[in-house]
Every structure is written in C-alpha cells, then in structure tokens.
A and B are shown apart, each in its own frame.
Chain A
Amino acid sequence: MIVLLGDTLTLFRREAIRYRRDRAYWVGQMVFPLAAVGFFGFGLNDVVELPTGTDYVGHLASGILVLVISSGAVGGGFSLIEDRETGFLRALLIAPVAPASIVLAKMAARLAASLLLVAMLLAILATFTALRLPEPAALLGAITAVTAVFVSLGIAIASRLRRLESFRLFAALVTVPLYLFSGIFYPITTLPSPMRWLSYGNPLSYGVDLFRFGLLGIHEIPLATSAVMLALLSVGATALAVASLNHQRADR
C-alpha cells in the first residue's frame, strides 16, 4: 500500500510537470468559461426566470465550471493515448508499477488542476456573479467525484482505442449527452418528465447539483442522495479504469 502511494506520488509529479508546462491549456481553460458566462449568461439573464430563485448568470456560471472540470478530466484519458503514442506507457508498463498507480496519478493530477482552475475562475466570477463559497466541503466533494468519474471514463475509453481521433469522437459521443442532461444549462426540475428522468439517470446530475450547492447554497436533489451516488460512482469508475489498464497490460 505504501509502495502504491509512493509510486502514485512519483507519477503524479510527472503529470504535474506536464500541466505546469502546458501554458496554452491554462489560457484556454480560463478564457472559455469566462466567455461562455459573459455571452450566454448575461444574454439570457433577463429572458430566463428560474424556479430555484437564483439568476441565470449564477446558474450557468456554476454549470460551466462543472463542464470545464469534467471535460478536462476526460482529457486525463486522452493523455493515456498520448502516453501510448509517445511510447512512454510501454516503458512504464515494464517497470515495477501497478496500473492502479498510473490511474490514481492521472486522477490526482487532474484533481489538483481542477481545484486550481476552479479557485482562479471563482475569484474572477465572484466579482460579477452571485457565486460565493457557502458550502466548501460540498464543493470539494463534488470536484473530487466528478474528476474521479470522468478521468476513469476517459481511461476506460482510451484503453480500448489506439488513435487520438477515435478517442475524440467516441469521448464526445459519450460525454455530450451527459452534459446536456445534467442541469448544467437549465435546472433539472424545469425539464419535461421523460427528460427529467434521463437526468436522474445521469451520474453528472448529482455532481452538478452538489457543486452548485457548494457555490450558491441551493440544490434540486436531496444532498444525501447526491453524496451516496457520487461516492459509489467514484469507487466503481476508478475500479473500472484500473481493470481496463490491467486488461491492456495482460493483453500485450
């Protein structure tokens, strides 16, 4: 166990170096959410009235932050394909390293990047939206769970695909419906009945709801339900990702 954590920390260090050097990534991740909130949020603010009582800018801003961390987390899987294409993964898989360490390191690095990103964006968004930090524990839990689930999803997809193009297409096919039916753009309770039930079956809905509770103090799903669902999903998805990488290793 100590070896596993030590190896995870070693690989985390490498991922962190890569994030730190990728300036274009940070610029993109900062500009896109601010532009989306500015354009759609303020454009629709006076048109849309929400049953939750918050203004639309605040609702969208919190949703867009989840979109940023979940799509970024899928990129954790994307980086596995990069590792395979550069050959780095090959050398890693013959070193005495458990695949669990590779998965956990990608997850931990992505979590650190997500936390940093949310902190920086929140500092800016708080100046012109209703976003505050009334429930920091809920926010932390939501970021951790969404990151774990989506990094795992990315790794599970990446373990089965050989090419970056296939990954992008397949990841979009899987994730776009999750984004649309998750409450990122509109509250779940405003949706017509069949779509609302789709949203309740969507793991991301629980993450969005808990995340929004962390920033705005409001929620549509009982908090305990979200917490339990996210905990189960995180553990299940992580196990799936480790199994996918193990399978790939045994396959060679």
Chain B
Amino acid sequence: MESSATTNPPAIEVRALVKRFGEVTALDGLDLRVPRGSCFGLLGPNGAGKTTTVSILTTLIRPTGGVARLLGRDVVAERDAVRRDLGLVFQESTLDPELTSREHLDLYARLYHLEDRRARVDEIIALLGLEEVADRPTRFYSGGMKRRLEIGRGLLHRPQVLFLDEPTLGLDVHARRAIWDHLRSLSDGGDTTVFLTTHSMEEADSLCEQIAIIDHGRVVASGSPSRLKSELGGDVVRLALERADGAIDRLNRLDGVSEVIREDPDSESTATLRVTLVDGPRRLAALIEAARSFGVLEVTMQRPTLDHVFLHHTGHSFEGPTDSA
C-alpha cells in the first residue's frame, strides 16, 4: 500500500477521516479515492460535510482523525508542498472589488513565481472568456464573470488538483451552463484532476466521471453516475392511486419490478408509490394494467437520476439540514 502510494499515488486518498467542531461531528469516518486526471464530484445536501472535506484536503483546517493525502503527500505533515500542487476556488468570492481581472491574475502569477506570467495571464483570460472585461474592476462584474475569474485564479499556476467548492452556487441557469462548459473543456484537456463539491445532482451528473454521495459526514455511495443509476435496477415510475391496500404486494409480483416504495405512508386518502421498473418503456403498460384495480390517478416515468440514487441509499430525500459544514 505504502509503496504504491509513493510510486504512483492517486490524486486524492482519504481514509477514516474525522472532523469534529466541539460537539458537532462534521465528518464521521470518510473514505475517498480519486484517480488522477478525472473529474470527481462530492455530492450531498447542505451540512453533509462537503466544505469541511475540501477545507481539510486544501490544508485550511486540520482533521480530528484519519488520513488525507494529496498526490501521496499528507495534508497535515506536508502542508506547504501540498499547497503548491493545489488550486482552490472557494464557495464565496475572494476578489478585491477594486482590482481588474488582469490585475488579480497578474498578482497571483507573481506570487506563484510563474516564468511565463504575461502569456499565462492572457491565456487564462482567453480561456474563461473574460477578454472584454479584463481591464475593468471586478465590482462591475456579474456573478458569472466573478466565478469565471475565481476559476481562472484557481487554474493559473497549473495545479495538479483543482478544488471547486460549489462552483455554480447562486448563479442563474445561463451562467451555470457557461461555467459547466468551461469546466468540461478543462477536464477534457489534460492532466488536471478536478474535485468539485455540489448539492446539485444535475451538476454532478453533467460534469463528473466519478462521484461520491455523502450524508452526515460519511460516504453512502460512490462510482460513476451511470453505474450508480443502473444499480437502482431500472426506471422510476411514480403511480398515484386511489387506494393502496394490497397494491404494493400486487405490483411486487410483476415481472421487471425490483422495488416498490410508498412515498406518502401517512396519507389516508390517496397513495403515491415509487416503482423501480427494469426496461420501463416496454413494461409500463403491464404495470398500469396491474394497478388499474386500485384506481390509477396519475402515472409518470423517469429515467433514474442521482436524486433517486440518493434517496435509495439514505432513505430520505435530498432536502437536508441547512447549516453548512
């Protein structure tokens, strides 16, 4: 294990990571392994421990227990070396409102002692499409422009691992998609490992090759989005019925049904069932026919999403506690 860690270590390796803030346990034995050159998403509701994980991996806070390594280096013992290899885009803005894009990037290019400073600054400005506003102070920027500049700052010194903490939080749909396009072009291009946290299932699905879903400071599922979704065993059909008595048993006996869950167990009048159905489009008609005697009010079918994966693994929906950890 140790020899592989020194010869060809993964981008990130986390074992049994624990972080407590007083009485509150933010991370409760977290395990992660992120291969190099991939885009990895850490997905979870607010308060699940995403920002705490990033803060430890980027050496901003120390763990209470466990091990975290970046490119084989311990984030506590080799803090300064770790910092040189990482780029971090914070959840909140870190821009000086009085400085322009070019001035920000030039400042950091100097602090990282880049030899091709001017060329690199121009390159980043072009990469993130900031040419037109590059010489205006950032207080005049839209939210999307500020985010792009933050990402540019994170990328500037060619870090081997780029951390993005909720990169599109608070942006409108248009700005969010623009950021996704930029991030996609990054991970397509080369060696940079991108590690992003998000509470947007759509974002993780759209950008990441590998994801880990965390809840209450622990990983509850990990793998590629498509594998996690396929593990659910089929498409998701939602049935609203007039009566539920016996419906679950009846539907469970059907071919292709792998799971039936009642979503509103407390409701006394109607019942909403979530049915996981293998090869849904072909079997949907049979399912509706079987449910007809219970009074079908409404039927919807969806391909499985990461929302369903989350629900499957945690037993609760994605609405979590709102405090950020």
Interface residues of A (CB under 8 A from B): 3, 6-7, 10-11, 13-14, 17-18, 21-22, 83, 86-88, 90-91, 94-97, 252
Contacts and interface: CB of A to CB of B under 8 A. Distances in A.
Contacts of B302: none
B160 interface: no
B78 to A, nearest CB: 13
Interface in B71-127: 80, 83-84, 88, 90, 92-99, 103, 107-108, 110-113
A17 B103 contact: yes
Given A7-B111, A21-B137, 6 more contacts: A3-B113, A6-B113, A17-B98, A17-B99, A86-B94, A87-B94
B297 interface: no
Contacts of A6: 110, 113
A90 B99 contact: no
Interface residues of B, number: 26
A94 B137 CA distance: 23
A53 B66 CA distance: 73
B58 interface: yes
Main secondary structure of the interface of A (DSSP, over half): helix
Nearest to A14: B107
Interface of B: 58-61, 80, 83-84, 88, 90, 92-99, 103, 107-108, 110-113, 137, 153
**Ranked 3 nearest A-B pairs via Cβ:** A91-B94, A87-B94, A10-B110
A94 B98 contact: no
Q: Please indicate which of the listed interface residues B96, B108, B110 has the most CB atoms of chain A within 10 Å of its own CB.
A: B96
A91 B59 contact: no
A14 B107 CA distance: 7
Given A10-B111, A87-B92, A87-B94, A94 B83 contact: yes
B111 A18 contact: no
A203 B316 CA distance: 64
Contact of B83 (A14, A18, A90, A96): A96
A86 B95 contact: yes
18 contacts: A3-B113, A11-B111, A14-B96, A14-B99, A17-B99, A18-B96, A18-B98, A21-B137, A86-B95, A87-B93, A87-B95, A90-B92, A91-B90, A91-B94, A91-B153, A94-B83, A94-B88, A96-B84
